[in-house]
Chains A and B, each alone.
Chain A
């Protein structure tokens, strides 16, 4: 038994090492007082100050956040409405549309990128922030649908009827009862759309304009010229922020679960 434990602990440690070693290296070298990638020359934070003086990176960061926020808000609205509509359809039609919904998710990004580029060219839409936002909406919507749908299916259908019964018109019934009920699904869809958008490189690569470079694109082009530890610093910040969001999210859901469990035992 004890030996077993030791082995499995070792195994876990190895996996963790494998997963996090690159990030650890990244973080360490973001504080290295040298441009070298293999020798340690003392501690510094000047890559971080450099970073915040790099106009290209700062404007890319702002653009990335704007594109992510706008596209994921729109995608959440579209995806939620789509899920509500799909949920009202009969079984056959719904499964057809759900398959159509899954298709873009399994489609390689590069195909989505190329096809969107062709479409925008054909429609003579100027490449820039607009096309970036449109493209990000396109690949985010299916994920929102995917997150909202199970909540709708699990919802007691009679609560919609109950809202009508108590004086709501259909629109009020959705806003007062259905939407609050499926809110967890909508929120997780929104967060997913947000991260997908911030994360995206491939699709953005095909649909950006000369003056609209998102962060991943800028990082890529900077590392092609020369790797500056500034990028390490930037990556470190991104990692810490993402880690923070994840921890917060887990903390929140654990607390919610505890609340629910407490309730069940509590009377």
Chain B
């Protein structure tokens, strides 16, 4: 990742004909050679943002800059950007070779050079020898890689990828994630990646952009987003969390579940109502008599690495990840370290 800014969105607003505002003022700088991921629930405007960057849609308001030059109104075929579409959009009437060669053929490049480049590109995505296959003779993962090769052969400065792994099974998905990260590093180009899978976003990206409802909630490194989510929504979206109503007594002291707890947050108003976010793996299970919170075990599910335990206490269903199993119906105690209690401002209600 370099320091210079390659793509910049300034207060981008998109409104469709029906008056529905899909993007509500997006401000975003993307660096050269960066791997940026848009993360958010379905319908939050990820694809729309990508289409604005690709030139397939125009912002109703706001500007978009590429390398410092305003590119509003510049059509896709004049942008040094290529796209891997949400469902690949390969050309069914062309074979693998002609799909990959398409962009170079449009540029009327020399046939020999095209043949060489296609060969290299297919090798890069591990599809050597598939040149003459028909598109419908390929598996989903192979089609995916053709789509990536077809985009990358044009040597774009930016590659847009819209949920490229959405249709693949878990194993293939993990392999492709590593593959894509390797390609991005070796070609040194900017990847703008869309997903609604938080794990994928955290694994692959230099920076994650969390979106909701046409707005950016938080931009940061995966560590930032995971450790310092700006609000309960981000916290919950990034990893399942317990979100409990609380009241901030004073700096470093919060009340929830009928108890006062020490915490590491400050700067809230006196008695301000807050969201208290606690990750399931941060809850320490203990004896019910000596622990500050006690409740009844409702369910225990084995998840491979840990048990997922639901506990009913103080009107909340608490989610606990623990390596130790518990009996359903048992009374247990729960405690949390001050550093694991995350205090967040209540989200403004829109």
Q: Which residues of A contact B (CB under 8 A)?
A: 156, 158-159, 161-169, 172, 176-177, 180-181, 183, 260, 263-264, 266-267
Contact = CB atoms under 8 A, between A and B. Distances in A.
A19 to B, nearest CB: 38
Given A167-B103, A267-B137, A267-B139, A159 B77 contact: no
Interface string B80-91: 011101110111
Interface string B126-158: 000000001011110000000000110010000
A161 B88 CA distance: 11
B75 A164 contact: yes
Given A172-B106, A263-B136, A267-B139, A166 B154 contact: yes
Contacts of A158: 85-87, 89
A159 B106 contact: no
Contact of A260 (B56, B76, B85, B136): B136
B113 to A, nearest CB: 16
Contacts of B55: 164
Contacts of B77: 164-169
Contacts of A172: 106
Contacts of B191: none
Contact of B82 (A156, A159, A165, A176): A165
B303 interface: no
A258 to B, nearest CB: 14
Nearest to A169: B77
B134 A168 contact: no
Contacts of A168: 77, 106
11 contacts: A156-B89, A158-B89, A161-B76, A163-B102, A164-B76, A176-B102, A180-B93, A260-B136, A263-B136, A266-B137, A267-B137
B267 interface: no
Nearest to B133: A267
B137 A263 contact: yes
Interface in B24-73: 54-56
Contacts of A181: 91-93
B107 interface: yes
Nearest to B139: A267
A161 B50 CA distance: 13
Nearest to B156: A165
A158 B91 CA distance: 10
A112 to B, nearest CB: 36
Given A167-B154, A169-B77, A161 B56 contact: yes
A167 B107 CA distance: 7
A205 B228 CA distance: 83
Contacts of A156: 87, 89
Contacts of B138: 267
A66 B262 CA distance: 93
Nearest to B17: A90
A161 B91 CA distance: 11
Contacts of B89: 156, 158-159, 161-162
Nearest to A266: B137
Residue picked from A156, A162, A180, A263, most chain B C-beta under 10 Å: A162
Nearest to A164: B76
